[in-house]
Structure 1
Amino acid sequence: MCGEHRTHPIDTVTVPGRSRSPGPRSPAEVREAVRHAFEGARRSRSRDIVAGDEAVGDALLVASELTTNAMLHGGGVTQFEVTLDDWDVRLSVSDRSEELPTSAQHIDERGFMRVGGHGWPIVCHLARDITISELDAGGKRITAVVPLSPR
């Protein structure tokens, strides 16, 4: 795990008038949603969000890694959410598995680098805060907060 994390059960609530879609079908869809959120936030505010290319890239990478991990290890993405404020972008990915993410060994028994297994360490490095919540209906939600200002 990343070191410190919080785990607690949460309810999922469907807001009336808002349809609940199945999760995104690919990391590319998630990256597009993050880009769209940045564009919408920039248009709707009287001043620009202070987010350089590096911060946007970090948010895109974290969203992509969380989604890929949910698809590969969590039984698929059941929900994705992105929210921005003046300081952070909050990325939440829900999946069907209750297993907590772990870091894989990067070196095989012969001493060679393994392919894969780098996603969770990347998320842990780029996110300022990570919360893992059990969902009452089963599965989990991972929320990662990526700062918009330089680390």
Structure 2
Amino acid sequence: MCEQHSTESALEPSAARYSRHPCPCRPADARRAVEQAVAERCRATHTGCDEDALSDALLVTSELTTNAILHGGGVTDFHVDVVGPGVRVSVSDRSSDLPVALAPVDQEGRWRAGGRGWPIVCLLADDIRVTGLPAGGKCISAVVPLT
């Protein structure tokens, strides 16, 4: 687990906190939703968008949605909202298992394919929360700074 990680037992009410976008089936759809939310915020506030920060947010989005597909039984819900100086991405899936970071090398000394997604999320996001859902599964929310 990363240091910013926290767990909660029930999903916080989301209607007032998140902009709702159709649930993406693919990481590319989720990235487009994040790009759109950030672009709308930049237009509304007449501020420039930091391309490096946006790239970090898109990478976190890709990792969270890919992990939900590969390890969580698929994306069941998706929210994105630009909050303060960052963008919050929330991805829900069917698995109650907490994310783990695997060592890059297995017990026999062979390099693993994959296993770098969760450490990337932990490196780039300021606030990460894993929330258990009442009907099963989990929601992972990560806030990525935009400045």
Give TM-score scaled by structure 1 length: 0.85
Give ranges in structure 2 of 5+ residues lacking alignment: none
State the match for 2:91 in structure 1.
93
User: In structure 2, how many angstroms separate the alpha carbons of the residues matched to 1:5 and 1:42?
Assistant: 28
- What is the distance in 1 between the residues matched to 2:119 and 2:37? 25
Structure having the higher Rg: 1
> Residue in 1 aligned with 2:41?
41
Post-superposition CA distance 1:54-80 (Å, at most 9, x none) = 100000000000000000000110111
Distance in 1 between the 2:100 and 2:53 partners?
25
1:141 CA drift (Å): 0.5
Using a 3 Å threshold, how does the CA distance of structure 1 residues 117 and 37 change in structure 2: closer, same or farther?
same
Residue ranges of structure 1 left out of the alignment (5+ in a row): none
User: Which residue of 100, 105, 108 corresponds with 1:107?
Assistant: 105
Question: Aligned residues: percent identity?
Answer: 49
> How far is 1:113 from its partner?
2.2
What is aligned with 1:133? 131
Query: Within 5 Å, which residues of 2 pair with 1:22-101?
Result: 23-45=23-45, 47-48=46-47, 51-101=49-99
1:35-89 Cα shifts (integer Å, max 9, x gaps):
11112112222x315x411100000000000000000000110111111134111
Aligned-residue Cα RMSD (Å) equals 2.1
* TM-score (structure 2 length as normaliser): 0.87
- 8 Å Cα contact 2:4-2:127 kept in structure 1: no
> Following the alignment from structure 1 to structure 2, what is the Cα–Cα distance between the partners of residues 14 and 54?
28
Q: Please give the alpha-carbon distance, in whole angstroms, between the structure 1 residues aligned to 2:3 and 2:14.
A: 32
Q: How many residues align?
A: 143
